[in-house]
A and B are shown apart, each in its own frame.
Chain A
């Protein structure tokens, strides 16, 4: 069975600080996909990144970077030089090829608050 754990319920940082959001996953499949979504106060989930299990290269997109480590089943997300607009709930999600359901298994989310 799939499981995604985001142990950090809430994080608060001051603007310009770096912040890392943790994500640990469980799956029995060797082929799977990991995702990060951002949910600002407006409510709409915004897709940030998709990573497949065979690509362990870290990715950087502007101030965002992702660290995928299969050895520890983690897919952590770092925001560099955080800004107030980064305040949102961030979800990590997992999709594998097992079972009949075609779904994402979401973590419980991390509420990030960036203070000015």
Chain B
């Protein structure tokens, strides 16, 4: 069966510090991968998605970036965090463009 991992689970970082969140999927090949952010108030915002290694599409301009160095690894990064980057970050995968997405446990980021 497929599983999706995210780490760390929680993170407190000062403004201006770098960020690296990692997501890995097991049990499937060539999945579509997604990064979402959920701010307080529940709305889910798609940040990035990837249909293959090295292929990244950005949905919202911001100071975040994403990379997919391996088939089942998706990384969310920032060189300098802003206060507004605080939130709950969720990684997800799907088999293809019309299948359901399965979400990881999330990373709660607080920028101080």
A interface list, Cβ under 8 A from B: 33, 35, 37, 42-47, 50, 52, 89, 91, 95, 97, 100-104, 106, 108-109, 111
Q: Are B101 and A43 in contact (CB under 8 A)?
A: no
Distance, CA A106 to CA B46, complexed state (A): 10
- For B106, give the chain A residue with the smallest CB separation: A43
How far in angstroms is the closest Cβ of chain B from A89? 6
Contact with A along B13-32 (1 / 0, CB 8 A): 00000000000000000001
Contacts A42-B105, A91-B44; is A102 near B51 (CB within 8 Å)? Answer: yes
Give the complex CA separation of A44 and B44 in angstroms: 12
A102 to B44, CA, bound (A): 15
Main SS class of interface, B: strand
How many A-B Cβ pairs are below 8 Å?
Answer: 54
Smallest CB-CB A-B distances: 8 pairs: A45-B103, A102-B97, A109-B42, A106-B44, A50-B100, A43-B106, A103-B46, A44-B105
In the bound complex, do residue B34 and residue A97 qualify as a contact, i.e. CB atoms below 8 Å apart? no
How many of chain B's residues have a CB under 8 angstroms from any CB in A?
24
28 contacts between A and B (CB under 8 A): A33-B98, A35-B100, A37-B103, A42-B105, A43-B88, A43-B106, A43-B108, A44-B103, A44-B104, A44-B106, A45-B90, A46-B103, A47-B102, A47-B103, A50-B99, A50-B100, A52-B98, A89-B42, A97-B97, A100-B57, A101-B46, A101-B57, A102-B97, A103-B46, A106-B44, A108-B42, A109-B43, A111-B42
Kindly list chain A residues whose C-beta atoms are within 8 Å of the C-beta of B34: 103
Interchain CB contact under 8 A, A104 and B106:
no
> B interface vs A, CB < 8 Å?
32, 34, 42-44, 46, 49, 51, 57, 59, 88, 90, 92, 97-106, 108
Asked if A95 meets B90 with Cβ closer than 8 Å, knowing A101-B57, A108-B43, the reply is no
Q: How far is the CB of B12 from chain A (nearest CB, A)?
A: 16
